[in-house]
Amino acid sequence: MMNKKLLMMLLVAGMAVMFITTGLYAGTDVPDTIKMDYNQYKKRKKQPPKSKFIEFSHKMHNEDYKISCGDCHHDKDNKPLDLKIGDNVQRCAECHTKMAKDKKNKKDIMVLENAMHGNCIVCHKDVNKKAGDPKGMKGPAPASCAKCHISLKKKK
């Protein structure tokens, strides 16, 4: 009887190790489109509930535009990460955890809004500059606020 309990405990422990190991090696399943709904900002003019949550097409940027993972995903020293499909990937808000700007340091990169705007807008402006607009505001990549922050208010 004692051996049956020991055997059962070993079996359960072995199964637990198997599931944990499988989970560690499974990687991150990245959706084709990522809804940027993890901000918790208050009193924002261009954020929900006054505008739709931004939907970022991860698949389109990676496959159609040939943007590598390291162009957006980086380490704590801002060095590009050499990621491959299936690698574990953290969302912006995992590291850029500040949700409100500090009046003394408005450009703090740890603020989620600053990190995302820096990543998206700088890249979009560069694309537009390469397409011929010296200011980078007009071209194939949206670079103005209203192109991504779509208002929910009906226009008159």
- Check residue 20 and give its pLDDT: 62
**Segment (H or E) for 35:** strand 33-35
Give the pLDDT confidence of 65-94 residue by residue, as tens digits: 999 889 999 998 989 998 877 788 888 888
Binding-site annotation: residue ranges for heme c: 58, 61, 69, 72-74, 92, 120, 123-124, 145, 148-149
Question: What's residue 27's pLDDT?
Answer: 58
13 pLDDT more than 90: no
Q: Which tens digits make up the pLDDT trace of 22-32? A: 554 455 677 88
Closest alpha carbon to 128 in 113, 141, 112: 141
pLDDT of residue 3: 80
Distances (CA, A) of 4 to 7, 10, 13, 15, 117: 5, 10, 14, 16, 60
Whole-prediction pTM:
0.69
Confidence label for 121 from pLDDT (cuts 50, 70 and 90): very high
Give the bridge partners for 19, in sequence order. none
Please list, in sequence order, all residues whose beta carbon lies within 8 angstroms of the beta carbon of residue 27, skipping any fewer than 6 positions away: 85, 86, 87, 88
Binding-site residue ranges: 58, 61, 69, 72-74, 92, 120, 123-124, 145, 148-149
Which domains, from first to last, does the chain contain? 31-148 (3.90.10.10)
